[in-house]
């Protein structure tokens, strides 16, 4: 793998290979050794707790040297572009750059350049893609069910603004899952019809294997939009009452951060059916597998 930018570019074989490798890292059975000093840099232009720090831990576990990048203290504050910043880090000898940006498809000019040789790993681009989150979600589902084919999965909530939803719907459909979307109609886009169908939450819940909730992304909404947490929770959230209608073997997922008592009742976040904490743990092992793959696939 040369770069990891969008799930669109990954085959199901590559996905299954990354899940297998992440599981080996988790089990402690994977062998990995660097043959020389290798630098990785994490450039986060949007806030992050899970993605940023789990990439940092994954890099440390692999023995990489980590060049943390503070945009405010860098020449970005003098107007240097992302392209010129990555060109510079590449020239200094950084071999992999993890980038989160609010700009959708920011990675295209980086991976198309003949002068940038470091691997680009997308840590999230606006409302575009979040491939490392998708892979850790897939790992978590696979750990539970050992397959994707035929699983009934609902992705619920702020679909339009969610890069997690976009990456997951694309790959889960490819892997054979049956997808449903629920939430406010205003946050549903007809282009999602190619991956699944818009459904009524209460009718679909008892049939699900996986209920995947999404955070309401207030930062990507029009500030004039009126929003009531109580009303959203009542209409579209996983309430305690609704959760009782899930099959006992169904699991609850959320990429986090969670708005407790909005998308999901506070008491359900750490409940026995929730895999939200496991998702975070799996993030480290998935990111180790991603880093290993892009380092192995680096351009000459």
Q: What does the per-residue mask of binding to ligand CP show for 79-118, with x meaning CB under 6 A?
A: ----------------------------------------
* Minimum gap (Å) between residue 203 Cβ and ligand CP: 28
Determine if 220 is a binding residue for ligand CP (CB under 6 A): no
* Minimum gap (Å) between residue 52 Cβ and ligand CP: 6
Determine if 37 is a binding residue for ligand CP (CB under 6 A): no
> 3-state SS string over the chain?
CCCECCHHHCCHHHHHHHHHHHHHHHHCCCCCCCCCCCEEEEEECCCCCHHHHHHHHHHHHHCCEEEEECHHHCHHHHCCCHHHHHHHHHHHCEEEEEEEECCCCCCHHHHHCCCCCCEEEEEEECCCCCHHHHHHHHHHHHHHHCCCCCCEEEEECCCCCCHHHHHHHHHHHHCCCEEEEECCHHHCCHHHHHCEEECCHHHHHHHCCEEEECCCCHHHCCCCCCCCHHHHHHHHCECHHHHCCCCCCCEEECCCCCCECCCECHHHCCCCCECHHHHHHHHHHHHHHHHHHHHHCCCC
Quick one: 53 or 61, whose CB is closer to ligand CP? 53
73 in a known ligand binding site = no
Determine if 219 is a binding residue for ligand CP (CB under 6 A): no
Quick one: 98 or 265, whose CB is closer to ligand CP? 98
* Minimum gap (Å) between residue 44 Cβ and ligand CP: 8
Residues 272-291 that bind ligand CP (CB under 6 A): none
Question: CA 244 to CA 267: how far, in whole Å?
Answer: 13
Interface residue with ligand CP among 12, 37, 49, 267 (CB under 6 A) is 49
Quick one: 45 or 205, whose CB is closer to ligand CP? 45
Determine if 255 is a binding residue for ligand CP (CB under 6 A): yes
Applying CB under 6 A, which part among 75-83, 111-119, 169-177, 252-260 lies near ligand CP?
A: 252-260
In this structure, are residues 258 and 223 in contact, taking their beta carbons and an 8 Å threshold? no
* Minimum gap (Å) between residue 255 Cβ and ligand CP: 4
Determine if 50 is a binding residue for ligand CP (CB under 6 A): yes
Token pair listed for 265: 């009742």
Q: How far is CA 36 from CA 65, 84, 205, in A?
A: 11, 26, 51
Applying CB under 6 A, which part among 29-37, 45-53, 60-68, 168-176 lies near ligand CP?
A: 45-53
Residues 135-174 that bind ligand CP (CB under 6 A): none
In this structure, are residues 173 and 179 in contact, taking their beta carbons and an 8 Å threshold? yes
Size of the site for ligand CP (CB under 6 A): 10
* Minimum gap (Å) between residue 97 Cβ and ligand CP: 16
Quick one: 50 or 229, whose CB is closer to ligand CP? 50
Binding positions for carbamoyl phosphate: 50-51, 100, 130, 133, 256-257
Binding positions for L-aspartate: 78, 163, 215
Which residues in this chain contact ligand CP in the complex, by CB under 6 A?
48-52, 124, 133, 255-257
């Amino acid at each position: 793998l040369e770069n990891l930018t969008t799930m669109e570019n990954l085959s199901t074989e590559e996905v299954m290979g990354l899940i297998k490798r992440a599981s080996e890292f988790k089990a402690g059975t994977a062998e990995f050794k660097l043959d020389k000093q290798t630098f990785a840099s994490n450039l986060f232009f949007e806030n992050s707790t899970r993605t940023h720090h789990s990439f940092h831990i994954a890099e440390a576990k692999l023995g990489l040297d980590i060049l943390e990048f503070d945009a405010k203290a860098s020449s970005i504050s003098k107007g240097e572009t992302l392209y010129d910043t990555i060109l510079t880090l590449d020239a200094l000898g950084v071999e992999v750059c993890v980038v989160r940006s609010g700009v959708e498809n920011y990675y295209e000019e980086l991976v198309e350049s003949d002068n940038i040789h470091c691997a680009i790993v997308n840590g999230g681009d606006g409302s575009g893609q979040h491939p490392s989150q998708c892979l850790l979600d897939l790992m978590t589902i696979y750990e539970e069910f050992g397959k994707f084919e035929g699983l009934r999965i609902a992705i619920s909530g702020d679909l339009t603004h969610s890069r997690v939803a976009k990456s997951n719907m694309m790959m889960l459909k490819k892997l054979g899952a049956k997808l449903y979307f629920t939430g406010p109609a205003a946050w549903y886009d007809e282009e999602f019809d190619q991956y699944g169908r818009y459904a009524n939450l209460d009718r679909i819940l008892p049939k699900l294997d996986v209920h995947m909730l999404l955070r309401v992304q207030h930062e990507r909404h029009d500030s004039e939009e009126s929003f009531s947490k109580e009303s959203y929770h009542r209409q579209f959230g996983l309430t305690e009452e609704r959760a009782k209608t899930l099959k006992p073997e169904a699991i609850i997922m959320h990429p986090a951060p969670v708005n407790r008592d909005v998308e999901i009742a506070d008491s359900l976040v750490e409940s026995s059916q929730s895999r939200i904490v496991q998702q975070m743990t799996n993030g480290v092992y998935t990111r180790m597998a991603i880093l290993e793959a892009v380092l192995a696939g680096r351009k000459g």
